[in-house]
Structure 1
Amino acid sequence: MPKITSSRYIEAMTPWLDKLPEYLRQCEFDPSLSCYGTGESAHWPTQSNCNVFAALAVLSEAPELPEKQRLELRGTALSLLRYAMATHVTGRIPATDGKSWGHHWISVLGLERMSHGVNAIREHLTEGDCTALRNLMISESDWLLDEYPVEADMLGNSGRNKPESNIWNGGILLRTALDYPDAPRAAEYREKATKFLLNGLSHPLDAADETRYNGRPAREYHVGFNFTPNWSLDHHWYLNVGYMVICLSNLAMLHFYCRERGFEPPPELYRHADDLWRLVKACTFRDGRLLRIGGDTRARYTYCQNYAIPMWLFAADALGDRDAAEFEKGWLDIVRREAAANGDGGFYSRRLAQIAGVSYYYFTRLESDAVLCLSYGAYWRRKFALPDDSPEFPVNPPFSWQDEYHGATFLRDGNAARSFVWHAAQGPAGVCVPADRSDMAEWQNNLRGEIRSSCTPQSTHGRSSHTLFPGGFLNSGVSEWEERNPQGEGEGVYAYARHRTACAALPDGKTMLFLEYAVMTKEATIDEIKGMSLKMPNDLFNGGKRVYRAPGNVEIELPGNPGSTDSRTVSSDRLSIDGALNVYSLYGSDTLTIRRPASREIVIHRKNGPWMYSLYADEICNTYRSGCGRVRPGTVVLDGGYAVAAGGELETPVFRRLPQNGLLRMVEFRNESGRWLFAANFGEEAAAPQLPAGAALLAGSLKPGRAALWQL
């Protein structure tokens, strides 16, 4: 693969210039100025405007482009920057909604993210521009000093989990102190910047840390910890790999800003960055696509994914990780492939067309993030000598991890990435994919059945227990299905089904076994009951085609997003997907269903509609029933087992359900690597399984709600 260069980023950015005129608007209060998108004072439009300014500023200094084009781009960039400064509370005109922006917990984020653009175009700023920028920066910094407290908390629903905002607010204070040392409160900016930064990637042990920063021990700055002891992040109230990336991306912006401007970066900028990067790196496929084991509530492969670019550059330059360049190369190819498929220069104009129709506000923000993040690679790789290859990149470096708070277990070994997380974005979610097939990864209620009511169903995060053992893990628990937005007056949110799930990652480097049991707890109208519910993305990232094979020379080739419902039943208990991932119905059904919705169903999670969708996925179910109507309490709606394995021969495994008493469930599974017994106790009392001679316990116990694994 060619080395990564600034020019490759420029080539990925320039087609978007054909699309840009659709998003630009002339300012009605000052026709000499332009704005991007809706131009409102709210933080997303403000950030988007700053994003596009920075990207155009970088392009305007790109030697690869003709001089005439560069001059035009510089003019547009300056117009957008001047609009941002003029509509700030220190400015002279309102934004398109008649209001000014600024003095808000997130108001400086756009300023942080555009800082490299200011550097790129600094010599072309007028005296008036420089004065307006100084006034803006000092105004925001004063507000942060006087009005905004430094807070931190591990719980995402506390309102105080603020890792990324602490970093960007600390960044703006530090940059103001460095850029304007004559400012009357520069020393105060520097002191509070230290406190913000030390409470960004904050850890429980920081409360006793004696390491000195800006003249004081870290413990004196510590107000709380945003990360769990194992470095997971509960941002937006789930295990949020994406916002771990956002945190590191903001450190990157500050790191490269200091490096370019010749400022000495403070040590607190790098504190714990290595610790967090180790986990995020493990949650990244070789092609750069994030393995979001805890799921995602936003549009797939857009916002947080794009901000991995500055993070990778930071990892290469500040943390010395040579593998980061490989992630860059892979992701840049994915970005270019999607843009080429659109055919109009846009980054998401085909895949996210439904979002554009529902929210122009949201869609233009996503487009701006993409071009901005490419500009980091274009600019920093032009300015600095950064590693551009990874000569010995490991295909799947072994990694094992668990986290108590999120009920999370995660393994990368053999040829697979395997995980199960209870405190995930849209309810519990599992992942089992080949390590080299990022296009197969999805987590929206993945590898766990669904009982979907007619009234905005949602699964709760659930209670769980887990065990990590050499080469494998157990994870089991219970959650509930709820109707989140009932329509009747006086009708509240309520749970209608209790869903128990247990999974085992076998010590064979590829296989996961699942057992599940669900019973109705309240009468409800049920649209669909789906066992297993393996989501298999079938969109442009895999070329819009999946090939499913079953025994007996059965081969089904299915295009993505068919435009009409196209579900079908396969008369087999096993199925191969692209010859890379195999699924098996262990019990509950002797057939498998490939559920094919009429359009994209991977949703942007919102408390209220309208729903917006960002990816198409087929769905493999071992049990599938639709149009169930009213279902009474006490009805068992799911009782089945299934397995997923990365690679391997489809015909190899042998399995059977072993009869047990009550709500104890047990299966035997045998493949070329070994023979295992997996059991789960879905009852309320301890259970004693009937085991064959020679069974050796690997992990677990059969207390109520627990699971156990034996090897024969």
Structure 2
Amino acid sequence: MSETMALQEKNYVDVMRPWLKVLPQFTRQSLFNPSLRHYGTGESAHWPIQSNFNVFAALAVLGTSPHLEDEKPAMAREEIIRTALDFLRYGLATHLSGHDVASDGKQWGHHWISVLGLERMAHGVNAIREYLSDDDRMALRRVLISEADWITDNHPVRGCMVNSEGPNVPESNIWNGAVLMRTAAAYPDAPRVKEYLTKATSFMLNGLSHPLDAGCETMFYGKPVRKWHVGFNYTPNWSLDHHGYLNVGYMVICLSNLAMLHFYFKDLGLTPPPELTWHLQEVWAMVKKCTFADGRLLRIGGDTRARYTYCQNYAIPSWMLAQDVLGDSDAAGFEAGWLKIMQQEQDYTGTGGFYGRRLDNIRRINYYYYSRLESDAILCLSYGAYWHRRFQLLALTTPAVVNMPVSWQDEYHGATFERSGNAVRSFVWHGGQGPTGVIAPADESSMGEWQLNLHGEVLSTQTPALNYGNSDWHELFHGGFVNVGAADWCERDPLGEGEGVYAYARHQIAVAALPDQETMLVLQYATISKEITLDAIKGFGVKVPNDLFNGSKRRYMTADGTCLELTGNPGCADDRHLAADRVCVDGKLAVFALYGAEGLTIHRPAKAQIILHKPHGPWLSSLYADEICGKVVLENQRYTPGTVVLDDGFAVAVSGDLKAECDAELSADSTVRQATFTRGNKTWGFAANFGSTTASVAVPAGAFVLAGSSELAPGGALLWQQSLI
């Protein structure tokens, strides 16, 4: 091992080692076979099985690391290896091909996701191979061949671009294909190897699959891609509708499983199969665009899971794949940056674990989920440790701001995305928690958030949700975009017998990213469509994370010099009203009221409100955020159809400069809204038609239209720019 390789491995081991202190609280003895131990809850369901294998692999890597004793570990090397073997043996013994049962009295295996834990632990098997007994080797062969046979005979290769219309399954196609390839490589004497490899090629080529594959003539094993093609999982613009929204996180999961297979083959001294890299470059290019310089994912379509845990951690193997196959040096910077953030998370928790403090509510309410999240974190660190031990990869360097101009849109998701200067700006209608916008400095990832961001909220008393919206119209132009559309607020879980899930408010939003590399303008209009009881109405809605990643402190400055330093998660409601129409956050993000508000309010709820968006169960939160609002109504009131509950406009800029002129034209007899924003020697005008009839808007002399038309159809918008002399 070279000196550079040793140093990179040590970087990971130093973060892994403290986790040994919390391992005993997750370790259980089998109720059915006292000779077996397992991690976490131990059921036959796929999450506990995956978690158990995750921790086996992490311990296998840590227990065989030459750096383990650089600092005194909480467990001796022999105990780490013994625990790793116990966890492995539990997983293999409780499979359908074995003779034991899991903690719920059942066995696991033979379904679409049953091999995922086996794939994710493969490097751990290689790391600890010299400690495996003959019985261990036979058990591993038994399980892998049993799963490979079942997949070959029973699991179809599938694909569909739109999640609501069919199976959007790029990631499971990849891991099922990968286990077939890995089993064939490990056991070339298995009787069905040729069948495994044929089915595996079909799975792999239908992983990162694209509409053009249906006519592609590129050959694999004597057949063109079009004959292997079953369905496409990615849109023409390389977005992914996994779980029913623009899901950057699962693009990463796809890449992570390709990485596991790639490095497994290299570890055995074998050439990775060519289908492994099919469309790798295109998907990586999209993922890279959606990554901050420090490695934090820029999830322009939002997230339905706990912030910065599962998909984020699996970016580690994805980055290593991008380095080794594509030679992308920026990926090493992402890797280094995220390793520092994981260390920050661990230090914040203070026990050696990763999420015991920030995700304390998940830990207290759902141990099943919490133990899974901890296992993913330690597993993903083990990829970094082991693969840097085995392979000469790029040195981890302190990340710098990545100069990555992006101008991108996607029709299906109603998505627009602009990345230029030091600003990332986007708006997506088909997001994880409904329509969402993002604006943040490219060099300050802790300011990125996407839960109901850049628009107001109309919250009923019964689990309100903003449905996926539709973009009536969006357009890119040089340096910016306009995106206009509407969505409905609804009640997800009505309580009354016979009470339907109905829409109660129509929310129209118009967004413009200006060609100044820093500013977004937002106009919105919402009306009640069915009589409803509301708990809260919040205008504007600029989410500012205020949690451990920014040191749990934000500094708010108004134009008159008023300064507030606010700590995150105050533990009680702590709203702050500012008698000002503009405020700057940490000297990096400026918010301006254009119309519809008397001053600004920093809404600070009593507890973390960035939630896991699950269909049922208690609300579980994973991050605290301040909310910069205009109008704020927190009274329980009944509203009748036709009531206008939101009618406002605001601007947000990646800037510390509060010098700007804001103006608006509001007509009492029209629902056309117009606003102007002047900074320096340029004025921009933005108008949107929230009504039902066509209207005209005058463009000033000397101005030119950037997007839209002065004849505004319903749902139309106009953006113009004028240079001042």
Aligned length: 710
**Residue number among 27, 41, 44 corresponding to 2:44 in the alignment:** 41
The match for 2:593 is: 585
Q: d(CA) in 2 for partners of 1:71 and 1:435? A: 45
Tell me by how many angstroms 1:37 deviates.
0.3
Give the unaligned 5+ runs of structure 1. Answer: none
The match for 2:506 is: 498
The match for 1:308 is: 315
CA contact (8 A) 2:293 2:399 kept: no
**Residue number among 700, 704, 708 corresponding to 2:714 in the alignment:** 704
- Could you tell which deviates more after superposition, 118-127 or 384-393? 384-393
RMSD across aligned C-alpha pairs, in angstroms? 1.4
The match for 2:624 is: 616
Q: d(CA) in 2 for partners of 1:239 and 1:406? A: 6
Instruction: Please give the secondary structure, in 2, of the residue aligned with 1:318.
Output: helix
Tell me by how many angstroms 1:239 deviates.
0.2
1:441 to 2:448 alignment: yes
Which amino acid is the alignment partner of residue 617 of structure 2?
G
Tell me by how many angstroms 1:29 deviates.
1.9
1:105 to 2:117 alignment: no
Q: d(CA) in 1 for partners of 2:666 and 2:354? A: 54
1:474 to 2:478 alignment: no
Q: d(CA) in 1 for partners of 2:609 and 2:448? A: 15
Q: d(CA) in 1 for partners of 2:252 and 2:270? A: 24
Q: d(CA) in 2 for partners of 1:115 and 1:392? A: 30
Q: d(CA) in 2 for partners of 1:278 and 1:705? A: 33
Which amino acid is the alignment partner of residue 180 of structure 1?
Y
**Residue number among 237, 253, 271 corresponding to 1:246 in the alignment:** 253
CA contact (8 A) 1:518 1:638 kept: yes
Q: d(CA) in 1 for partners of 2:487 and 2:138? A: 56
- Could you tell which deviates more after superposition, 32-41 or 384-393? 384-393
**Residue number among 38, 43, 60 corresponding to 1:57 in the alignment:** 60
Tell me by how many angstroms 1:109 deviates.
0.2
Which amino acid is the alignment partner of residue 148 of structure 2?
S
Q: d(CA) in 2 for partners of 1:664 and 1:65? A: 66
Q: d(CA) in 2 for partners of 1:392 and 1:625? A: 43
Which amino acid is the alignment partner of residue 419 of structure 1?
S
Which amino acid is the alignment partner of residue 36 of structure 1?
Y
CA contact (8 A) 1:699 1:709 kept: yes
- Could you tell which deviates more after superposition, 193-202 or 551-560? 551-560
Q: How does 1:337-416 map to 2 (within 5 A)?
A: 337-389=344-396, 395-416=402-423
CA contact (8 A) 1:58 1:378 kept: yes
Can you list the C-alpha shifts for 1:102-148, whole angstroms capped at 9, x where unaligned?
00100000000000000001121111111111010010011101111
The match for 1:10 is: 13
Tell me by how many angstroms 1:357 deviates.
1.2
CA contact (8 A) 2:337 2:399 kept: no
- Could you tell which deviates more after superposition, 182-191 or 659-668? 659-668
Tell me by how many angstroms 1:322 deviates.
0.7
Q: d(CA) in 1 for partners of 2:58 and 2:652? A: 43
- Could you tell which deviates more after superposition, 615-624 or 654-663? 654-663
1:144 to 2:151 alignment: yes
The match for 1:695 is: 703
1:274 to 2:274 alignment: no
Can you list the C-alpha shifts for 1:146-174, whole angstroms capped at 9, x where unaligned?
11110000011234100000000000000
- Could you tell which deviates more after superposition, 375-384 or 700-709? 700-709
The match for 2:100 is: 93
Q: d(CA) in 1 for partners of 2:211 and 2:404? A: 28
The match for 1:566 is: 574
Which amino acid is the alignment partner of residue 21 of structure 1?
P
CA contact (8 A) 1:508 1:673 kept: no
- Could you tell which deviates more after superposition, 363-372 or 458-467? 458-467
Can you list the C-alpha shifts for 1:480-517, whole angstroms capped at 9, x where unaligned?
00011110000010000000000000000000000000
Which amino acid is the alignment partner of residue 146 of structure 1?
D
* TM-score, length basis structure 2: 0.96
- Could you tell which deviates more after superposition, 121-130 or 185-194? 121-130
Which amino acid is the alignment partner of residue 671 of structure 1?
R
Tell me by how many angstroms 1:696 deviates.
1.1
Instruction: Please give the secondary structure, in 1, of the residue aligned with 2:674.
Output: strand
**Residue number among 509, 512, 517 corresponding to 1:509 in the alignment:** 517
Q: d(CA) in 1 for partners of 2:165 and 2:50? A: 25
Which amino acid is the alignment partner of residue 54 of structure 2?
N
Quickly say closer, same or farther: Cα 1:705–1:550, change in 2 above 3 A.
same
Which amino acid is the alignment partner of residue 114 of structure 1?
M
Tell me by how many angstroms 1:27 deviates.
1.2
Instruction: Please give the secondary structure, in 2, of the residue aligned with 1:128.
Output: helix
CA contact (8 A) 1:106 1:165 kept: yes
Can you list the C-alpha shifts for 1:583-608, whole angstroms capped at 9, x where unaligned?
01100013001001001110000111
The match for 1:675 is: 683
Instruction: Please give the secondary structure, in 1, of the residue aligned with 2:195.
Output: helix
Instruction: Please give the secondary structure, in 1, of the residue aligned with 2:527.
Output: strand
The match for 2:584 is: 576
Which amino acid is the alignment partner of residue 335 of structure 2?
E
CA contact (8 A) 1:323 1:390 kept: no
Identity %: 59
Q: d(CA) in 2 for partners of 1:423 and 1:399? A: 20
The match for 1:489 is: 497
CA contact (8 A) 1:322 1:390 kept: no
Which amino acid is the alignment partner of residue 61 of structure 2?
V
- Could you tell which deviates more after superposition, 596-605 or 544-553? 544-553
Q: d(CA) in 2 for partners of 1:568 and 1:31? A: 57
Q: d(CA) in 2 for partners of 1:333 and 1:64? A: 19
Which amino acid is the alignment partner of residue 667 of structure 1?
A
Which amino acid is the alignment partner of residue 243 of structure 2?
H
Q: How does 1:286-305 map to 2 (within 5 A)?
A: 286-305=293-312
Q: d(CA) in 2 for partners of 1:438 and 1:55? A: 28
1:542 to 2:545 alignment: no
The match for 1:226 is: 233
**Residue number among 122, 132, 137 corresponding to 1:125 in the alignment:** 132
The match for 1:320 is: 327
Q: d(CA) in 1 for partners of 2:436 and 2:399? A: 32
Quickly say closer, same or farther: Cα 1:404–1:61, change in 2 above 3 A.
same
Q: d(CA) in 1 for partners of 2:398 and 2:326? A: 17
1:25 to 2:32 alignment: no
CA contact (8 A) 1:496 1:521 kept: yes
CA contact (8 A) 2:415 2:429 kept: yes
Can you list the C-alpha shifts for 1:390-427, whole angstroms capped at 9, x where unaligned?
69955332111110000000011011000000000001
Can you list the C-alpha shifts for 1:314-362, whole angstroms capped at 9, x where unaligned?
0001111011111011111010011011111110000101001111000
CA contact (8 A) 2:294 2:399 kept: no
Give the unaligned 5+ runs of structure 2. Answer: none
Tell me by how many angstroms 1:658 deviates.
2.3
Quickly say closer, same or farther: Cα 1:673–1:508, change in 2 above 3 A.
farther
- Which 4+ runs in 1 deviate beyond 6 A? none
